[in-house]
Amino acid sequence: MSDPATLLTEPRIKLVARLRPLAGTRFQPTGFPDLGHATYPSPVDGSRLLLVESPQSMANRLEGTLWDDATQEPVRVIRSLPYIRVFDKDGLYLTSSRTESHRLASAYVKDAAYEGVNGTQVILDRLGLEKQRPIDHARVHRSIFELDPLCLVHGVFFADEKWPGQPKISRAVTAFVEAAGVQEAYSGGVRFDNVSNKGDKETARKTAKEGYGNVPFSRTEFVAASIEASFVLDVSQIRRYALEPLERELLLSIALFEIRSLLDSGLRLRTACDLEVEDIRGDRPSGFELPELSVIEGWVQDRLGDARPSLHGVYG
């Protein structure tokens, strides 16, 4: 079985999980404003393909495997890693660099105060950004690792004009769910009003728009010949970070932990889209088998190193 040091020599790790609906054959894919469901022809044979879950949503789900919503803290395996927590003036938790879509570049992180210093200035000082000077990428990598290393896995863009050079770290792990050979499955239902099935149209105050009366609706789901979740980990990007070997191995192990954790928990993407894993194959490197979660957890724990303090800011 491969280990993180060996895997770090590969350019990419690609995993494909074959999925099927947990119950029945129908499932509800993601939808997009002004577009609806994303269907498109296969470039190979012209058959219909369907995007079941987008890379953006899968990134959120992967990150979510390392965050405990009940306690508003990281899960045990990475709890010692640093990150930024933001509180309000009353000391109540608001958000963090682990839960904000822009991570370290979040507006809440920027506008919070850390020991009297504005967050924008904290980031500026840590990253060593200066006007009319090239970005010191080694310092940026090191500083991000010391502030929140998960930003080196899922990316961060310091887009504020107050940060000269506006450094950007691309997402190192990308995933999506795609179905092939799809057909629509139409159905529908009725939302019942047990008090008044027609509402009160005479007053124009108790209509379907306000939530009154019986409201019939249509529903579009899909069936598919096959459903697959694809995961690509850009190992070469992690290898290029200006970090110690064990630190790069840690990032790789965390990414694999997220993938295995997500697949082990089942992909209940929506109420009407509950998918289970049939099998997992490693396409790159050839013959690679994704280890069990307990093994990957051991990789992470062996490479955690000394705990670093997290930053706590006050917003508002």
Q: What is the DSSP string of 8-43?
A: TTSSEEEEEEEEEESSSS-B----BTTTBS-EEE-T
Q: Is 146 in the same domain as 281?
A: yes
State whether residue 76 is helix, strand or coil. helix
Among 169, 199, 223, the domain-final residue is: 223
Whether 202 and 172 share a structural domain: no
pLDDT in tens, the chain (316 residues): 589 999 999 999 999 999 999 999 999 998 888 788 889 999 989 899 999 999 999 999 999 999 999 999 999 999 999 999 999 999 999 999 999 999 999 999 999 999 999 999 999 999 999 999 999 999 999 999 999 999 999 999 999 999 999 999 999 999 999 999 999 998 877 777 777 766 555 555 677 677 777 777 778 889 999 999 999 999 999 999 999 999 999 999 999 999 999 999 989 999 999 999 999 999 999 889 999 999 999 999 999 987 788 999 999 8
**In this structure, are 190 and 294 located in the same domain?**
no
Q: Which two tokens stand for residue 82?
A: 């640093």
Q: Look at the block and give the residue holding tokens 């210093």.
A: 117
Q: How many CB atoms lie within 10 A of CB 218?
A: 8
Q: What is the C-alpha to C-alpha distance for residues 136 and 12, in angstroms, rounded to an integer?
A: 26
CA distances from 311 to 16, 64, 115, 305 (A): 37, 20, 9, 18
Q: Are residues 171 and 283 in the same domain?
A: yes
Q: Which residues pair with 84 in a beta bridge?
A: 311
The answer to whether the CB of 119 falls within 8 A of the CB of 53 is: no
E-only strand ranges, the chain:
12-21, 39-41, 48-53, 67-68, 73-74, 84-87, 93-96, 112-114, 117-118, 156-157, 168-169, 173-180, 183-191, 215-223, 226-234, 267-270, 273-284, 311-315
Q: Taking the alpha carbons of 161, 166, 169, 174 in that order, is the dihedral positive or negative? A: positive
Angle between the 245-265 and 55-64 helix axes, to the nearest 10 degrees? 100
Yes or no: say if 262 and 75 are a contact pair by the CB < 8 Å rule. Answer: no
Cis peptide before 285 (omega within 30 of 0): yes
On whether both 128 and 161 belong to a single domain, the answer is yes
What are 226's strand-pairing partners? 180
User: For helices 119-127 and 137-147, what crossing angle results, to 10°?
Assistant: 130
Residues 80 and 159 in one domain: yes
- Same domain membership, residue 116 and residue 215: no
Domain boundary among 157, 192, 223: 223
Which pLDDT does position 128 carry in this prediction?
95
Given 167, 196, 223, which residue is the final one in a domain?
Answer: 223
Range of the structural domain that residue 215 is part of? 183-223
**Residues in CB range of 175: below 8 A, 6 or more apart:** 55, 58, 59, 62, 229, 230, 231, 232, 259
| Same structural domain, 26 and 38 | yes
Domain match, 143 and 237 both: yes
Closest CA relative to residue 299, chosen from 264, 263, 249 = 249
Q: Is the same domain home to 70 and 214? A: no
Q: Are residues 137 and 166 in the same domain?
A: yes
For the chain, the domain total comes to: 2
Specify the pTM. 0.91
CA–CA separation, 275 and 285 (whole Å): 26
Q: Name the 3-class secondary structure at 143.
A: helix
SS3 300: helix
Q: Are residues 45 and 63 in the same domain?
A: yes
